A and B are shown apart, each in its own frame.
Chain A
Amino acid sequence: MQGPARIAEGLLTDAARPLGFRFDGQRMQGVAGDTLASALLANGRRLVGRSFKYHRPRGIVTAGPEEPCALVDVIGAGGREPNHLATTLALYQDLVAESQNRWPSLGFDVMALNDRIARFIPAGFYYKTFMAPGWAWEPLYEPLIRHAAGLGRLDAIVGEHAALAETVHDHADVLVVGAGVAGLTAAHRLGASGLRVVLAEQDTVLGGGALLDARWAEWRETTCDALAGLPRVHCLARTTVLGAYGHGVFAALETLAGADAANLGRLRERLRIIRARRVIFATGAIERLIAFPGNDLPGVMLAGAALGYLRRYGVAVGRQPAFFLNTDQAYESVFALAGAGIERVGVIDVRSGSLAAERARVLGIEVHEGVVVEAVIGRGAVGGVRVANRDGSQRREFEADSLLISGGYCPATALASQLGAALKWQDAIAAFTPELAPAAGRVAGAARGVFGLAAAARNGEAAARVIGAELGHASLAAGLELALPPDAEATPIGALWEVQARGKAFVDLQNDVTAADVRLAQLEGYEHVEHMKRYTTHGMATDQGRIGGLVGSAVLAQARGLPLAEVGQPKARPYAQPVPLAALAGSEVRQHLKPKRRLPLHDWHEAAGASFVTTGLWLRPLVYSRQSGWQPVLREARAVRTSVGVTDVSTLGKIDVQGPDAAKFLDFIYANTFSTLAVGRSRYGIMLREDGMLLDDGTTSRLAQQHFLVTTTTANAAAVLEHIEFHLQAVCPQFDVLLSDVGDQWAQFAIAGPRSREVVTALVADLDLSGQAFPFMAASAATIAGVAGRVFRISFSGELAYELAVPARHGLQVWLAVLAAGRPFGIRPYGLDALNTLRIEKGHVTGAEMNGNTSADDLGFGRMLKPQADFIGRELSQRAGLHAPDRLQLVGVRPVNRKRRLRNGAHLVAAKARTVSLGYVTSSTPSTELEGWVGLALLEGGRHCRVQRLLASSPVHNEATEVEIVSPHMIDPENVRVRA
């Protein structure tokens, strides 16, 4: 190509602001406003990439997000980011980009060998080979295939990638997708009438087709200015609506560029979740390619893209362009290039006698009618074209340095399809248009096949009127009264999908799918369009086949001898544009992935040196030591067994149940009875699911005749609350009961150990805590260290114990008072590990045993089920399967050799049948009082197990430990201590 490629002022470029960049190590210069693609073209660069399968040289094909070929790696401070589209990547100073999928260099790519052997590796070849020998797939074939596949490289495996993104929520009366002439018109009319409008445009500027037609410049500017002045209209450029999710919800990706990104701490993207009462899809139409041999050579470009490069960036994509087209609309590019001073323009028009050809001839442009391009001449770049009649006769060759093609235009139907639009074939434009149910939204402009800017404007206005009326604006505010430059009269399209001649004719440029591949799929019975797509991978690349999708369908239709309307095209799915994971994720990642729930005393625990464990959302003190191992845990647990300890149990779920029917309701919720519970007493209760399995356990206290406090386990707090709420409202609506979740309102501490009474007595003045006055399972309001609270005499550790509950804001004060009162007895705070040690020895169960598959009977609670009255789970808990002899039941286990340890998750097996699991160890700990380790296990028929010894087998630890089966109640089985 001769002379500078930048021949004019671009609408978007600023020639006064040069920007240096590098592509494949070569320094080049573009200007502000360029994309990488326009800058490369301005530098005369044609070859920019290699194709996926055959590694054929490829150039820039489009000027927008539909680009299949010009994908590059961008290398920045954060690492290498693959698969950036050169056609949408805004150029910046010192941008470093590299071509992809080639080795050793873009110019010489060893893998281009694939192109030479293409005849042996057609679509789906891998389904037919690589099967022998059987062992060879993983070590041999697969690595080869995987190495060859993939486009860009991701080298940011380690370290923090800049994942800055945020999620923004927009609410609108109307979402207008696309700011071409139709969208701008609709948005303005609706916005001027006072409706809240979000106008989303994927381009960096508003205008769509009006940007490319000089006659529309004034209209565009005036309309955009007017929109900017409407307070309830929110215009979003660089914003692609990714998906339509129903109920008026849409996701859109806003890409921040340049100054905006810099001002916001390098924020790169926003995921916009738009909730709109109505939607107008004014998404325009996408130019499509024609399949003919050589249609992938660098220098072959869509005609509309050439127009875009000229108008937007002032770049001429060739000095001697040949056009190959079949519509009058595509002549706009011809006229523009000729008008910009490109002299040697030639047109190959599939049709004969079109109005546009006539106008071209008047301008002195050479037009060949009724012919097609049969081949592209040139190796590595376009040097000319061979033209012939459609029957292949009268071959001629023409010189050209670029070939600008247009096979017509496909309305962008993806979003409308996601809302259920049927696709209707339109002969007049040789394309599908969406038929959307009116309730789902409206389609306007080129998106519904209305080509011509003035017609699109009128169509956008019509859509606005309908939507306005639906939203209570029977008449819209006046429009801008701008004259619409008239649309030229157009000759209809001469549909042409493929020129069948010798050589590869591509229908998918990125995945290297040829028309022959499509025919092979048909031949082999993959004839449904979805089968063809999957077999050939047509349309599955990053560009989603936007410029060749319908062409592939057309080739298939021809092969099947069916009308294209019947063959259809594959279903469109989100996303309209590839979306970075970071953008979908927004800011709720890493430490913000889930909210953290901290105890009221979190800071105290931390200062006291606690190690924390994450359980669900909670952070809980595990042990008050940073030292690992069991010693610190046993120190805490032994303090409880020998003197006194205190632990924070504020994470327990607490549900306040009040009302005249509260007792009756609890009788229904719990498997055991609560209506008989006296005021001032607590009772251990178990809840079942309706299928008879254990849901949860806990103590419930009767604070007054009609007032109960239910406690749940920490893990099940939310689930139990929902379970109770559901049953109250769905099953027992006749009960007069109020439920309140008071879990966060109370700080609660367990003070446990033989000296706990003395400690609590020191804190509570208004309550007689003697054994007679306040026995085991007593509950009462009390003043605790000056704070109005509650005292419960309940125990999880198996020792004499009390739980103190005070309003959360007084937690620290009371906790400190407990420590002070306990100091004479050497009180120790204890964490979750010690709590666990204590309860295992005592045979108390938690989620490890109550695992959703255990029944009340399995855990030894069978006799708690009240026989006389209904409760949740009653009927199904009686099923035979829940009482089968092979049910897993709770037992205790101890290593026979007291020096051996136990492993949670070890399976119990008989020494003579080591592959048959009889059960498994659920929890284990070194004991505070017994020698060595103790554990709980679920064992087949465990309670009646005659075998005294089994192996606890843990193959993943290469261990098998002989254990004796004992009662789960390994410490104080007569419950003497808790009643002290």
Chain B
Amino acid sequence: MLRIRCPWCGERDETEFRYRGDASQSRPAADAGLEAFSAYVYERKNPRGWHLEWWLHVGGCRRLLKLVRHTLTHEIRWVGNAEDQASLPREPGR
């Protein structure tokens, strides 16, 4: 079970949060066109490794959090607010 350290509420079980998917892409500009929006809505890097992702703390402060989490080990390396910048740790190898 994931334990997520919410910057506002402290460490909580995953069941308090709602996952909102990949946070690595931002919404294209209004005039970016179909291809850009289609990629934004449908295409996912889906890494087997470090993943930047959104979690909404619906059972707590209702803040949107940004996490750096490993999709295989589930290690959470970083938790921040929606507007915080984060970079993914480098993968060894590939």
Q: Does a CB–CB distance below 8 Å link A and B in the complex?
A: yes
* Distance in Å: Cβ of B41 to nearest Cβ of chain A: 5
Q: Is the CB of A729 within 8 A of B23?
A: no
Q: Is the CB of A875 within 8 A of B62?
A: no
Known: A246-B1, A733-B82. A725 touches B64 (CB 8 A): yes
Q: Is the CB of B38 within 8 A of A876?
A: yes
* Distance in Å: Cβ of B11 to nearest Cβ of chain A: 9
Total cross-chain contacts (CB, 8 A)? 60
Q: Is the CB of A725 within 8 A of B62?
A: yes
* C-alpha spacing A722/B64, complex, angstroms: 10
Q: Is the CB of B33 within 8 A of A725?
A: no
* Distance in Å: Cβ of B66 to nearest Cβ of chain A: 9
* Distance in Å: Cβ of B49 to nearest Cβ of chain A: 15
Q: Which A residues touch B32, using CB under 8 A?
A: 875
Tell me, yes or no, whether A793 is within 8 Å of chain B by CB: no
Tell me, yes or no, whether A691 is within 8 Å of chain B by CB: yes
Q: Is the CB of B62 within 8 A of A733?
A: no
* C-alpha spacing A878/B3, complex, angstroms: 41
Q: Which A residues touch B33, using CB under 8 A?
A: 875
Q: Is the CB of A878 within 8 A of B64?
A: no
Known: A722-B58, A875-B33. A729 touches B82 (CB 8 A): yes
Q: Is the CB of A247 within 8 A of B73?
A: no
Q: Which B residues touch A733, using CB under 8 A?
A: 82-83
Q: Flag A722-734 by CB within 8 Å of B: 1 or 0 each.
A: 1001100111010
Interface residues of A, Cβ cutoff 8 Å to B? 245-249, 275, 420, 690-691, 718, 722, 725-726, 729-731, 733, 869-870, 874-876, 878-879
Q: Flag B16-59 by CB within 8 Å of A: 1 or 0 each.
A: 00101001001110101110011011100000000000101010
* Distance in Å: Cβ of B51 to nearest Cβ of chain A: 16
Q: Is the CB of A275 within 8 A of B3?
A: yes
Interface residues of B, Cβ cutoff 8 Å to A? 1-3, 18, 20, 23, 26-28, 30, 32-34, 37-38, 40-42, 54, 56, 58, 62-64, 73-74, 76, 82-83
* Distance in Å: Cβ of A207 to nearest Cβ of chain B: 31
Q: Which B residues touch A249, using CB under 8 A?
A: 1, 3
Of B18, B41, B82, the residue contacting A691 (CB under 8 A) is B41
Q: Is the CB of B2 within 8 A of A874?
A: no
* C-alpha spacing A878/B54, complex, angstroms: 27
* Distance in Å: Cβ of B33 to nearest Cβ of chain A: 7
* C-alpha spacing A247/B11, complex, angstroms: 11
Residue with the greatest number of chain B CB neighbours at <10 A, chosen from A248, A249, A725, A876: A725
* Distance in Å: Cβ of B1 to nearest Cβ of chain A: 4
Q: Is the CB of B54 within 8 A of A730?
A: yes
Q: Return the chain B residue nearest A870 by Cβ.
A: B30
Q: Is the CB of A726 within 8 A of B1?
A: no
* C-alpha spacing A408/B62, complex, angstroms: 55
Q: Is the CB of A247 within 8 A of B1?
A: yes
Q: Return the chain A residue nearest B83 by Cβ.
A: A733
Beyond known contacts A246-B2, A722-B20, A729-B63: 14 more, CB 8 A cutoff: A247-B2, A247-B3, A249-B3, A275-B3, A722-B18, A725-B64, A726-B64, A730-B20, A733-B83, A869-B30, A870-B30, A875-B32, A876-B34, A879-B34
Q: Return the chain B residue nearest A875 by Cβ.
A: B37
* Distance in Å: Cβ of B5 to nearest Cβ of chain A: 10
Q: Is the CB of A690 within 8 A of B41?
A: yes
Q: Is the CB of B37 within 8 A of A731?
A: no
* C-alpha spacing A354/B38, complex, angstroms: 74
* C-alpha spacing A413/B63, complex, angstroms: 40
* C-alpha spacing A249/B23, complex, angstroms: 26
Q: Which B residues touch A722, using CB under 8 A?
A: 18, 20, 56, 58
Q: Which A residues touch B3, using CB under 8 A?
A: 247-249, 275
* C-alpha spacing A189/B32, complex, angstroms: 64
Of B20, B34, B42, the residue contacting A726 (CB under 8 A) is B20
Q: Return the chain A residue nearest B76 by Cβ.
A: A247
Q: Is the CB of A245 within 8 A of B41?
A: no
* C-alpha spacing A690/B25, complex, angstroms: 14
Q: Which B residues touch A879, using CB under 8 A?
A: 34
* C-alpha spacing A718/B62, complex, angstroms: 12
Q: Which B residues touch A248, using CB under 8 A?
A: 3
Of B2, B37, B56, the residue contacting A876 (CB under 8 A) is B37
Q: Return the chain B residue nearest A726 by Cβ.
A: B20
Q: Is the CB of A245 within 8 A of B1?
A: yes
* C-alpha spacing A690/B3, complex, angstroms: 30
Q: Which B residues touch A731, using CB under 8 A?
A: 26-27
* C-alpha spacing A248/B27, complex, angstroms: 36
* Distance in Å: Cβ of B14 to nearest Cβ of chain A: 9
Q: Is the CB of A726 within 8 A of B56?
A: yes
* C-alpha spacing A907/B65, complex, angstroms: 45
Residue with the greatest number of chain B CB neighbours at <10 A, chosen from A691, A718, A874, A875: A875
* C-alpha spacing A25/B36, complex, angstroms: 75
Q: Return the chain A residue nearest B36 by Cβ.
A: A875
* C-alpha spacing A245/B20, complex, angstroms: 22
Q: Is the CB of B64 within 8 A of A730?
A: yes
* Distance in Å: Cβ of B40 to nearest Cβ of chain A: 7
* Distance in Å: Cβ of B44 to nearest Cβ of chain A: 14
Q: Which B residues touch A875, using CB under 8 A?
A: 28, 30, 32-34, 37
Q: Is the CB of B73 within 8 A of A420?
A: yes
10 contacts between A and B (CB under 8 A): A247-B2, A247-B76, A718-B58, A726-B54, A726-B56, A729-B82, A730-B23, A730-B64, A875-B30, A879-B34
Q: Return the chain A residue nearest B54 by Cβ.
A: A730
Q: Return the chain A residue nearest B23 by Cβ.
A: A730
Q: Which B residues touch A718, using CB under 8 A?
A: 58
Q: Return the chain B residue nearest A250 by Cβ.
A: B1
* Distance in Å: Cβ of B2 to nearest Cβ of chain A: 6
* C-alpha spacing A485/B30, complex, angstroms: 78
Of A246, A275, A874, A878, the residue contacting B74 (CB under 8 A) is A246
* Distance in Å: Cβ of B17 to nearest Cβ of chain A: 11
* C-alpha spacing A293/B76, complex, angstroms: 52
* C-alpha spacing A872/B32, complex, angstroms: 14
* C-alpha spacing A725/B62, complex, angstroms: 8
Please list the 3 inter-chain residue pairs (A to B) with the smallest Cβ-Cβ separation, ordered nearest first.
A870-B30, A729-B64, A875-B37
Q: Return the chain B residue nearest A739 by Cβ.
A: B62
* C-alpha spacing A722/B20, complex, angstroms: 9
Of A246, A730, A876, A878, the residue contacting B41 (CB under 8 A) is A876
* C-alpha spacing A420/B82, complex, angstroms: 32
Residue with the greatest number of chain A CB neighbours at <10 A, chosen from B1, B40, B74: B1
Q: Return the chain A residue nearest B81 by Cβ.
A: A729
Q: Return the chain B residue nearest A247 by Cβ.
A: B3
Q: Return the chain B residue nearest A727 by Cβ.
A: B27
* Distance in Å: Cβ of B79 to nearest Cβ of chain A: 13
Q: Which B residues touch A245, using CB under 8 A?
A: 1
Residue with the greatest number of chain B CB neighbours at <10 A, chosen from A690, A730, A870: A730
Q: Which B residues touch A870, using CB under 8 A?
A: 30
* Distance in Å: Cβ of B65 to nearest Cβ of chain A: 9
Q: Return the chain B residue nearest A437 by Cβ.
A: B73
Q: Return the chain B residue nearest A169 by Cβ.
A: B13
Of A420, A690, A725, A869, the residue contacting B40 (CB under 8 A) is A690
* C-alpha spacing A890/B15, complex, angstroms: 38
* Distance in Å: Cβ of B94 to nearest Cβ of chain A: 20
Q: Which A residues touch B26, using CB under 8 A?
A: 731
* Distance in Å: Cβ of B82 to nearest Cβ of chain A: 4
* Distance in Å: Cβ of B55 to nearest Cβ of chain A: 10
* C-alpha spacing A691/B73, complex, angstroms: 32
Q: Return the chain B residue nearest A874 by Cβ.
A: B30
Q: Is the CB of B41 within 8 A of A725?
A: no
Known: A247-B74, A248-B3, A725-B56. A730 touches B82 (CB 8 A): yes
* Distance in Å: Cβ of A721 to nearest Cβ of chain B: 8
* Distance in Å: Cβ of A752 to nearest Cβ of chain B: 34
Q: Which A residues touch B83, using CB under 8 A?
A: 729, 733
* Distance in Å: Cβ of B93 to nearest Cβ of chain A: 18
Residue with the greatest number of chain A CB neighbours at <10 A, chosen from B40, B58, B82, B83: B82
Q: Which A residues touch B18, using CB under 8 A?
A: 722
* Distance in Å: Cβ of A506 to nearest Cβ of chain B: 38
